[in-house]
């Protein structure tokens, strides 16, 4: 198995932990951007988005398939531009299992040998699998503290716990911009403003970061995120060709001929 797949399994473990720690301050689905400087808020060269529910929760009863496209654009001081484009195939079944398949050809800004990887998170088996489709190997990680809830329960939680946002300028504030229809889904349109005060990281003026999102309450799914950060450029994440309904069950199973790596868990892979 290529080193990049093992590196990803470590990053996923870190991302899951970060998502649980930051859950109390945020509502709705979280998308962890791995491979950059930060999680959930984007980075210069985020190369994998990993969907993690708030507080380690996974939604049951909202199956779908779709294609996630991520485009990052960074403008350098000399006017040069660094542009990256990636495509991933996503799926979630009625039991809350999720799958992400993509070809990874860089670790942040560093090019590396391309790896065709699949990430399966199974809250029923309480395990996470990283499959290398080239080497036919799988790394297994046990999930702790997961909770499976229905879409209706998730919606009730968010309605009851949704904070009242102040329009006054602060270091971080969020504004609701109504509801838009995207991919046939009614999506909540939100804008998050974050300000890094002058002197925080050596900056002589405040740095303003914006993150515009469209999320579907019905699927509990982040459909679009447009993030602009003067330090790193612009990242646009969008899920297209969304089809509601249960995917093929085989998408969430580890093929029988895959070898469990020695550094993986001894958990039995799904049949």
Q: Could you tell me the pTM of the whole model?
A: 0.72
261 band by pLDDT with thresholds 50, 70 and 90: confident
- Given this model, what pLDDT does residue 23 score? 34
- Domain coordinates in residue numbering, the chain: 3-260
58 band by pLDDT with thresholds 50, 70 and 90: confident
User: 3-260 belongs to which CATH class?
Assistant: mainly beta
Looking at residues 83-103, what average pLDDT do you find? 93
66 band by pLDDT with thresholds 50, 70 and 90: very high
* Calpha distance 227→109 (Å, rounded): 18
Q: What is the pLDDT of residues 172-213, one digit of tens each?
A: 888 999 999 999 999 999 999 999 998 888 889 999 999 999
Higher pLDDT, 157 or 34: 157
Give every CB contact of residue 216 below 8 A, 6+ residues apart in sequence: 182, 185, 186, 187, 188, 223
pLDDT at 107 over 50: yes
Higher pLDDT, 257 or 39: 257
pLDDT at 226 over 90: yes
Percent of the chain topping pLDDT 90 = 45
Q: What is the pLDDT of residues 228-238, one digit of tens each?
A: 999 889 999 99
- Given this model, what pLDDT does residue 201 score? 87
pLDDT at 154 over 80: no
- Given this model, what pLDDT does residue 69 score? 94
Higher pLDDT, 168 or 56: 56
């Amino acid at each position: 198995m290529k080193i990049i797949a093992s590196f990803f399994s470590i990053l996923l473990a870190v991302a899951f932990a970060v998502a649980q720690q930051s859950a109390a301050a945020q509502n709705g689905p979280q998308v962890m951007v791995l491979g950059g400087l930060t999680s959930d808020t984007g980075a210069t060269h985020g190369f994998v988005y990993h969907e993690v529910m708030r507080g380690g929760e996974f939604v049951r009863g909202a199956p779908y398939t779709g294609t996630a496209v991520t485009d990052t654009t960074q403008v350098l001081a000399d006017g040069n531009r660094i542009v990256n484009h990636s495509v991933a195939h996503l799926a979630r079944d009625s039991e809350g299992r999720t799958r992400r398949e993509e070809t990874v050809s860089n670790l942040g800004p560093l090019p590396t040998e391309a790896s065709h990887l699949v990430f399966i998170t199974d809250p029923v088996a309480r395990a996470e699998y990283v499959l290398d489709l080239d080497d036919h190997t799988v790394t297994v990680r046990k999930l702790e503290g997961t909770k499976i809830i229905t879409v209706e329960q998730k919606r009730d939680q968010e309605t009851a716990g949704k904070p009242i946002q102040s329009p006054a300028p602060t270091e971080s504030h969020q504004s609701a911009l109504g509801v838009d229809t995207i991919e046939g889904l009614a999506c909540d349109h939100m804008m998050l403003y974050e300000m890094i005060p002058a002197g925080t990281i050596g900056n002589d003026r405040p740095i303003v970061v914006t993150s515009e999102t469209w999320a579907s309450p019905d699927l509990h799914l982040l459909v679009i995120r447009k993030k602009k950060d003067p330090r790193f450029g612009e990242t646009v994440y969008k899920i297209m060709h969304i089809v509601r309904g249960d995917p093929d069950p085989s998408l969430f199973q580890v093929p029988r001929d895959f070898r469990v790596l020695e550094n993986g868990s001894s958990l039995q892979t799904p049949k």
